[in-house]
Amino acid sequence: MTYCVAIRLKAGLVFLSDSRTNAGVDHISTFRKMTVFEHTGERFMVVLSAGNLAITQAVIQRLSATRLATEPSVWNASNLFEAARVVGDAVRQIHKSDAETLNAFNLEFNANFLFGGQIRGEPPRLFHVYAAGNFIEATEESPYFQIGEAKYGKPILDRVITPETTLDEAAKCSLVSMDSTLRSNLSVGMPLDLLVYETDALRVSRFVTIDSTNEYYRMISTTWGRRLRQVFSEIPNPTWDASLTPGANVLHGGTPPRAPVPPEIAALPNSVPSGPIQTLAGTPPTK
């Protein structure tokens, strides 16, 4: 499995990917999930991939080996939307050639791609390309995409990222998102590839490969964990009795959904009625 995140901001784009792939607990390998297509001063594009490694590698190979004289290509597309169509078409072509064989071996055609960048004359754009070759584009309301093991790193992105977020803040946020994923899922692993692109640069602005010895990443991981525990400890515990501590910390109750007790069980000599419970903070228990 893998985890990749891409963020579109007014200031540019941020891409982050891990490099772990596995085919079981005893077969773990490292393959980079990021590919850069760069024609300095004219266009800059990045593809992040997740899913079946053979499929994603075949798609990247097809994108890289396009014959410019006879085929549409990311190198000659007039805009990023058309370039995203090229990526989607490449996915469909690999599906056409491989999906039936994969299905015969009970293997799913599983591949997702994040594709973004800038072509001279238009602003930076970001797309999520699905296994069917269709795609959606990032917007101001939804400025980032994730693929792979996305759930663990999503909360921090939702709380921090806006179109006005700076590139450095977005890079930091993406690393916190990745750290949360690394801590919760063994199928995601180092090294990481982090690329930051500044609007209108039309070339790689900043790039780093991060392993477990990277001091900045280690600082982020340690600080984030320590501050989370600190903030958690500072949040008041719930209050069950409003007469003791009135205010926002009071938990209001209800009644739990219970299965009916069979009559023959309730009639047993040692059976006792359900005890009273507190259903509303500060009120007597129900009988």
Q: Output the CA angle 276-281-282, nearest 5 degrees.
A: 90
* pLDDT above 90: residue 254: no
The per-residue DSSP string of 222-287 comes to: HHHHHHHHHHHHHSPPPBS-TTTS-STTBPB------PPPPHHHHTSTT--PPPPB--BTTSPPB-
* pLDDT above 80: residue 129: yes
* pLDDT above 70: residue 193: yes
* pLDDT above 60: residue 23: no
Q: What is the fold of 3-230?
A: Glutamine Phosphoribosylpyrophosphate, subunit 1, domain 1 (3.60.20)
Residue 147: band (very low, low, confident or very high) from pLDDT cuts 50, 70, 90: very high
- The position carrying tokens 């959606």 is 136
* Extents of the domains making up the chain: 3-230
In angstroms, the first-to-last Cα distance of the chain is 52
pLDDT digits (tens, 9 = 90+) for 150-184: 999 999 999 999 999 999 999 999 999 999 999 99
Arithmetic mean of pLDDT, 217-236:
95
**Beta strands per DSSP E along the chain:** 3-9, 12-17, 20-22, 28-30, 34-39, 43-51, 111-119, 125-129, 135-137, 144-148, 192-198, 206-210
Mean pLDDT of the chain: 89
pLDDT digits (tens, 9 = 90+) for 79-115: 999 999 999 999 999 999 999 999 999 999 999 999 9
